[in-house]
């Protein structure tokens, strides 16, 4: 963690002695550890903390809802390997931030939720304080770790522990409870300075055991149809060159999980994405690098993997590279677990592979190439169509071109169909540029992610949003305008959740539960705050609007009206609907 040693910010006391207080110690502890940005929402008891942090030179980004601030913090953590900080008020503000904290833990993103809290004595006796809540107890089961600091001289330790917990091992969300009374506590400035800790080596490398490396290589060597799956842990690890070397020196085809797209360019000849449904059941040895065999990979079994029925093993053997020793065998047997940080594990594998590793059998590569060519041609045909009204494909064909022309732009993505189609149609070219709904498939991350990507990543952001998805965090367009961020939001507007053509089966006057106001003018929301709003209904108009947004870098919202009958219920995961199970 970078950051030079800094002088504590002090407040001159009435006498000669220099004192500091809880407010300044929190700020100094964060800055000492290279943390320069806070995402949050002010109010009692942390209002002054936001002011003073800004006065001390930190970037303070104030949101309209804590959940968005939390999502921003978590994705900043993913992008930078430094814990993203979300700052909230007590009880309701804390709870609003907590969803994002739980989501961070689920996704292995390092984040610290710092919440002010009410009077301990009153809270513990349940005497009815302002925003009374036992926040520490509530956060604990949802966080990787949770701490409370009661005394100013312990702030340094509290912040250090929070940082280590967030970024070491498997990263996750950490809760730090700071009671109101802590902030005004004064202590001698020199004692305060000495109490702070600059965390040394916050995410230590974890070197894999040599025998585990040998076991993994032996299994890979025995494969006739090997496959590598890259997950967002591999993207997070920032071992981009090593991972590329591993893929290219072994010649093994690979599949990127959603947020690992771009780790190698999606146009790489070894990418098997366009032949996914062929390679998963066919592969005999699969090496997972920073990817879990959770629902997103059908738990490593069942029909997706060539198993006879839903729970049957497909016969694959697995190598799993992961920092968590508990991850292996979570769903199916892992024959070669390789525990360590991805950078060290991949380097160790490369050392063992040397320069004379035999390429996988030509029949395997040929069969994949054949499927790829066929599927890519089929997709090109679909993308070239220009139906009226516009649909997901014709709109995303434009987005695909814009992203190709701007490979450094971040692509934020949420929705159901809007997510699935974007993932499969829009190629990514650089690591950690695709930011999406992750492990939970959570709606509401969109605008928080966009703000963080623009503010921390300092690049153009393109957010592709379902109209339902956008609604979860739509008010943050004011935040985007206020900080004048280069964010271009594209709403793929089909008038509802999944699609917009349902009617009330009960026959009453209420609309069906899945549909919204027809022909809603979302672009006016952006105009209300001084940004650019555009209403488009053709691919050409969408292209011009996106090009102008990227050129001007102005906050822009494009309301892209698409066919309201386009889209399937739940997108690609219709099979998870209980009613589908009943059938």
Write out the residues near ligand TZD by the rule CB under 6 A. Answer: 415-418, 441-444, 466-469, 492, 494, 497-498, 567, 571
Of 129 and 465, nearer to ligand TZD (C-beta) is: 465
Of 438 and 533, nearer to ligand TZD (C-beta) is: 438
Closest separation between CB of residue 437 and ligand ADP, Å? 10
Closest separation between CB of residue 313 and ligand ADP, Å? 19
Task: Select the binding partner of residue 389 from ligand TZD, ligand ADP, none (C-beta < 5 to 8 A, by kind).
Answer: none
- In angstroms, the Cα distances linking 512 to 92, 391, 465 are 31, 22, 21
Closest separation between CB of residue 4 and ligand TZD, Å? 41
Q: By CB neighbour count within 10 A (0-12 exposed, 13-18 middle, 19+ buried), where does 572 fall?
A: middle
Task: Select the binding partner of residue 231 from ligand ADP, ligand TZD, none (C-beta < 5 to 8 A, by kind).
Answer: ligand ADP
Of 192 and 262, nearer to ligand ADP (C-beta) is: 262
Q: Which residues pair with 175 in a beta bridge?
A: 113, 146
User: In angstroms, how far is the first alpha carbon of the chain from the final one?
Assistant: 53
Name the residue among 141, 128, 122 with its Cα closest to residue 180.
Answer: 122
DSSP 443: T
Omega of the bond leading into 45 within 30 degrees of 0 (cis): yes
Closest separation between CB of residue 260 and ligand ADP, Å? 6
Of 184 and 325, nearer to ligand ADP (C-beta) is: 325
Closest separation between CB of residue 99 and ligand TZD, Å? 8
Task: Select the binding partner of residue 236 from ligand ADP, ligand TZD, none (C-beta < 5 to 8 A, by kind).
Answer: ligand ADP
Closest separation between CB of residue 250 and ligand TZD, Å? 36
Of 242 and 465, nearer to ligand ADP (C-beta) is: 242
Task: Select the binding partner of residue 497 from ligand ADP, ligand TZD, none (C-beta < 5 to 8 A, by kind).
Answer: ligand TZD
CB within 8 Å of 16: residues ≥ 6 apart = none
Site for ligand ADP, rule CB under 6 A? 107-108, 170-171, 231-233, 236-237, 257, 259-260, 290-292, 294, 296, 322-324, 327, 341-342, 439
DSSP string, 410-441: EEEEESSHHHHHHHHHS---STT-EEE-GGGT
Of 331 and 468, nearer to ligand TZD (C-beta) is: 468
Task: Select the binding partner of residue 291 from ligand TZD, ligand ADP, none (C-beta < 5 to 8 A, by kind).
Answer: ligand ADP
Task: Select the binding partner of residue 436 from ligand TZD, ligand ADP, none (C-beta < 5 to 8 A, by kind).
Answer: none
Task: Select the binding partner of residue 439 from ligand ADP, ligand TZD, none (C-beta < 5 to 8 A, by kind).
Answer: ligand ADP
Of 397 and 439, nearer to ligand ADP (C-beta) is: 439
- The neighbour count for residue 384, using CB atoms within 10 Å, is 10
CB within 8 Å of 55: residues ≥ 6 apart = none
3-state class of 340 per DSSP? coil
**Phi, then psi, of 278 in degrees rounded to 5:** -90, -45
The gap from C-alpha 403 to its chain's centroid, in whole angstroms, comes to 19
CA–CA separation, 86 and 97 (whole Å): 7
- 18-21/186-188 β-pairing: antiparallel
Task: Select the binding partner of residue 442 from ligand TZD, ligand ADP, none (C-beta < 5 to 8 A, by kind).
Answer: ligand TZD
Question: Which residue number has the CB closest to ligand ADP?
Answer: 233
Of 95 and 187, nearer to ligand TZD (C-beta) is: 95
Closest separation between CB of residue 29 and ligand ADP, Å? 24
Closest separation between CB of residue 320 and ligand ADP, Å? 9
Task: Select the binding partner of residue 563 from ligand TZD, ligand ADP, none (C-beta < 5 to 8 A, by kind).
Answer: none
Q: At what angle do helices 22-32 and 47-55 cross, to 10 degrees?
A: 50
The gap from C-alpha 235 to its chain's centroid, in whole angstroms, comes to 11
CA neighbours closer than 13 Å in the CB half-sphere of residue 157: 9
CA–CA separation, 104 and 39 (whole Å): 15
CA–CA separation, 546 and 376 (whole Å): 25
Closest separation between CB of residue 463 and ligand TZD, Å? 12
Of 104 and 227, nearer to ligand TZD (C-beta) is: 104
Closest separation between CB of residue 106 and ligand ADP, Å? 8
Task: Select the binding partner of residue 45 from ligand TZD, ligand ADP, none (C-beta < 5 to 8 A, by kind).
Answer: none
Closest separation between CB of residue 230 and ligand ADP, Å? 8
Task: Select the binding partner of residue 42 from ligand ADP, ligand TZD, none (C-beta < 5 to 8 A, by kind).
Answer: none
CB contact at 8 A, 574 and 504: no
- The neighbour count for residue 447, using CB atoms within 10 Å, is 31
Omega of the bond leading into 389 within 30 degrees of 0 (cis): yes
Of 438 and 471, nearer to ligand ADP (C-beta) is: 438
Closest separation between CB of residue 166 and ligand ADP, Å? 12
Task: Select the binding partner of residue 120 from ligand TZD, ligand ADP, none (C-beta < 5 to 8 A, by kind).
Answer: none
Of 459 and 570, nearer to ligand TZD (C-beta) is: 570
CA–CA separation, 312 and 314 (whole Å): 6
Question: Which residue number has the CB closest to ligand TZD?
Answer: 466
Question: H or E element: which one contains 554?
Answer: none
Closest separation between CB of residue 125 and ligand ADP, Å? 41
Q: Is 313 left (phi over 0), alpha (psi -120 to 50) or beta?
A: beta
Of 298 and 494, nearer to ligand TZD (C-beta) is: 494
CB contact at 8 A, 394 and 381: no
Of 170 and 276, nearer to ligand ADP (C-beta) is: 170
Task: Select the binding partner of residue 478 from ligand TZD, ligand ADP, none (C-beta < 5 to 8 A, by kind).
Answer: none
CA–CA separation, 187 and 13 (whole Å): 11
CA–CA separation, 36 and 56 (whole Å): 10
């Amino acid at each position: 963690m970078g950051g030079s040693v800094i002088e504590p910010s002090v407040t001159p006391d009435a006498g000669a002695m220099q004192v500091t207080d809880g407010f300044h110690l929190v700020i100094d502890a964060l800055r000492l550890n290279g943390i320069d940005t806070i995402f949050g929402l002010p109010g009692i008891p942390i209002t002054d903390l936001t002011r003073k942090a800004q006065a001390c030179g930190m970037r303070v980004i104030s949101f309209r809802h804590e959940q968005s601030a939390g999502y921003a913090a978590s994705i900043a953590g993913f992008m930078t390997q430094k814990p993203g900080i979300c700052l909230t008020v007590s009880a309701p503000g804390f709870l609003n931030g907590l969803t994002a904290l739980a989501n961070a833990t689920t996704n292995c993103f390092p984040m610290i939720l710092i919440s002010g809290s009410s009077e301990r004595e009153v809270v513990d006796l349940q005497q009815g304080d302002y925003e009374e809540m036992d926040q520490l107890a509530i956060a604990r089961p949802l966080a990787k770790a949770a701490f409370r600091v009661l005394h100013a001289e312990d702030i340094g330790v509290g912040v250090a522990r929070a940082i280590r917990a967030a970024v070491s091992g498997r990263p996750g969300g950490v809760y730090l409870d700071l009671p109101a009374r802590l902030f005004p506590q004064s202590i001698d400035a020199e004692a305060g300075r000495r109490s702070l800790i600059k965390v040394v080596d916050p995410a230590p490398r974890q070197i894999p055991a040599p025998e585990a490396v040998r076991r993994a290589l032996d299994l890979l060597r025995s494969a006739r149809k090997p496959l590598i799956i890259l997950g967002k842990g591999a993207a997070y690890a920032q071992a981009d060159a090593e991972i590329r070397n591993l893929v290219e020196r072994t010649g093994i085809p690979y599949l990127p999980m959603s947020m690992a797209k771009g780790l190698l360019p999606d146009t790489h000849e070894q990418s098997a994405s366009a032949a996914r449904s062929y390679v998963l059941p066919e592969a005999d040895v699969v090496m997972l690098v920073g990817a879990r065999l959770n629902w997103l990979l059908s738990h490593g079994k069942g029909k997706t993997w060539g198993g006879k029925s839903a729970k049957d093993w497909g016969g694959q053997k697995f190598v799993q590279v992961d920092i968590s020793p508990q991850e292996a065998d979570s769903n199916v047997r892992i024959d070669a677990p390789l525990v360590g940080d991805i950078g060290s594990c991949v380097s160790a594998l490369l050392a063992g592979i040397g320069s004379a590793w035999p390429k996988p059998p030509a029949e395997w590569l040929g069969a994949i190439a054949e499927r790829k060519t066929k599927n890519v041609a089929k997709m090109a045909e679909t993308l070239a169509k220009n139906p009226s009204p516009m649909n997901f494909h014709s709109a995303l064909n434009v987005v695909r071109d814009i992203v190709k022309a701007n490979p450094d732009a971040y692509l934020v993505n949420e929705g159901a169909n809007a997510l699935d189609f974007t993932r499969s149609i829009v190629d990514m070219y650089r690591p950690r540029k695709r930011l999406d709904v992750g492990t939970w498939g959570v709606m509401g991350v969109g605008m928080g992610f966009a703000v963080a990507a623009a503010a921390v990543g300092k690049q153009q952001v393109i957010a592709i949003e379902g109209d339902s998805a956008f609604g979860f965090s739509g008010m943050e367009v004011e935040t985007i305008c206020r900080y004048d961020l280069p964010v271009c939001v594209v709403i793929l507007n089909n008038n509802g959740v999944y699609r917009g053509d349902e009617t009330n089966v009960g026959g009453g006057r209420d609309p069906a539960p899945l549909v919204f106001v027809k022909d809603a003018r979302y672009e006016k929301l952006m105009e209300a705050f001084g940004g650019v709003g555009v209403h488009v209904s053709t691919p050409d108009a969408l292209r011009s609007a996106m090009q102008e947004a990227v050129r001007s870098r102005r906050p822009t919202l494009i309301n892209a009206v698409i066919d309201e009958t386009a889209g399937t219920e739940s997108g690609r995961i219709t099979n998870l609907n209980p009613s589908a199970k009943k059938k």
